[in-house]
Amino acid sequence: MRRLPGTLLGLLTAGVLLAPATATATATAGPVTPDPDTGLVGPVERPDPGDLSGAARAADGLALTGRGNGHGRGLSQYGAKGAAEEGWSYRRIVSFYYPGTAWARTAGRMEVLITADSTRDLVVRDRAGLRLRPVGGSWSPLHDARPAAVAWRVVPAAQGRSLVDYRTARGSWTRLRTVDGEVEVGAGGAPVRLETPAGTTPYRGVLRSVDPPPASSDDAEDRDTVNVVPMESYLRGVVPREVPALWPAAAVRAQAVAARSYAAYERVHPRNIHYQVLDTAGSQVYGGVAAEHPASDGAVRATRARVRFAGGEPAFTQFSASNGGWTAKGSFAYLPARQDRNEEGSGNPYATWRRTVSSSALESAYPAIGGFTGVELRDRTGDGQWGGRVGTVVVQGGQGRVSVPGETFRLTFGLPSTWFTTA
Q: Which residues contact 19 (CB under 8 A, 6 or more apart)?
A: 7, 8, 9, 10, 70, 280, 281, 285, 321
pLDDT at residue 120 tops 50: yes
Q: What is the mean pLDDT of residues 120-137?
A: 95
Q: How confident is residue 30, by pLDDT bands cut at 50, 70 and 90?
A: very low
What is each CA distance from 89 to 6, 86, 168, 320, in whole angstroms? Answer: 35, 9, 53, 19
Closest CA to 242 of 74, 354, 2: 74
How far apart are alpha carbons 284 and 224 in whole angstroms? Answer: 18
pLDDT tier at 24, thresholds 50, 70, 90: very low
pLDDT bucket at 40, cuts 50 / 70 / 90:
very low
**421: Cβ–Cβ under 8 A, 6 or more apart, which residues?**
64, 65, 66, 377, 385, 386
User: Mean of the pLDDT values across residues 42-68?
Assistant: 59
Instruction: Give the Cα separation of 311 and 331 in Å (integer).
Output: 13
Strands 306-310 and 277-278: unpaired
CA angle 123, 127, 131 (to 5 degrees): 70
Across the range 337-364, mean pLDDT stands at 94
- CA 333 vs CA 78, 255, 284, 325: distances in Å: 22, 20, 22, 19
Per-position DSSP letters for 240-259, written without gaps between them = HHHS-TTS-HHHHHHHHHHH
pLDDT of 35 above 90: no
**Least trusted range by pLDDT, from 52-56, 208-212, 297-301, 352-356:** 52-56
The per-residue pLDDT of the chain, averaged, comes to 87
Query: How far apart, in whole angstroms, are the C-alpha atoms of residue 250 and residue 248?
Result: 6
Distance CA 71, CA 65 (A): 16
CA angle in degrees (0–180, nearest 5) for 95-100-102: 70
The answer, yes or no, to whether residue 404 has pLDDT greater than 70, is yes
Query: Which of 17-26, 122-131, 337-346 is predicted with the least confidence, judged by mean pLDDT?
Result: 17-26
- C-alpha 319/C-alpha 205 separation (Å) is 26
DSSP β-ladder status, 277-278 and 109-113: parallel
Give 49's pLDDT tier (boundaries 50, 70, 90): very low
φ/ψ region of 241 (left if φ > 0, alpha if ψ in -120 to 50, else beta) reads: alpha
For residue range 201-243, list pLDDT tens digits in order: 999 999 999 988 764 555 557 899 999 999 999 999 999 999 9
- pLDDT at residue 32 above 70? no
Provide the edge-to-edge strand list for the sheet that holds 353-357: 353-357, 62-66, 420-422
Calculate mean pLDDT across residues 10-33: 35
User: What pLDDT score does 57 carry?
Assistant: 54
- What's the confidence (pLDDT) of residue 60? 78
Tens of pLDDT, residue by residue over 130-162, are 999 999 899 999 999 899 999 999 999 998 899
CA distance linking residue 397 with residue 51, whole number of Å: 11
pLDDT band (50, 70, 90) for residue 171? confident
Q: Which residues contact 379 (CB under 8 A, 6 or more apart)?
A: 29, 30, 31, 32, 390, 391, 392, 406
Average pLDDT over residues 184-211: 96
Decide if pLDDT at 72 tops 80: yes
What 3 state SS string does 84-142 have?
HHCCCCHHHHHHHHCCCCEEEECCCEEEEECCCCCCCCEEEECCCCCEEEECCCCCEEC
Q: How far apart are alpha carbons 226 and 17 in whole angstroms?
A: 25
Task: Note whether 47 and 374 are within 8 A (CB).
Answer: no
Looking at residue 55, its pLDDT comes to 53
What average pLDDT score do residues 374-392 get?
95
d(CA 89, CA 278): 30
Query: What is the pLDDT at residue 80?
Result: 98
Question: Three-state SS string across 313-347, please?
Answer: EECCCCEECECCCECCCCCCCCCCCCECHHHCCCC
Pairwise CA distance, residues 176 & 132, whole Å = 12
Q: What is the mean pLDDT of residues 29-34?
A: 35
At 402 the pLDDT is 97
User: Tens of pLDDT along 266-301?
Assistant: 999 998 899 999 999 999 999 999 999 999 999 999
Pairing mode, strands 162-167 and 62-66: unpaired
Whether the Cβ atoms of residue 41 and residue 405 lie closer than 8 Å to each other: yes
End-to-end CA distance of the chain: 44
Residue 348 three-state SS: coil
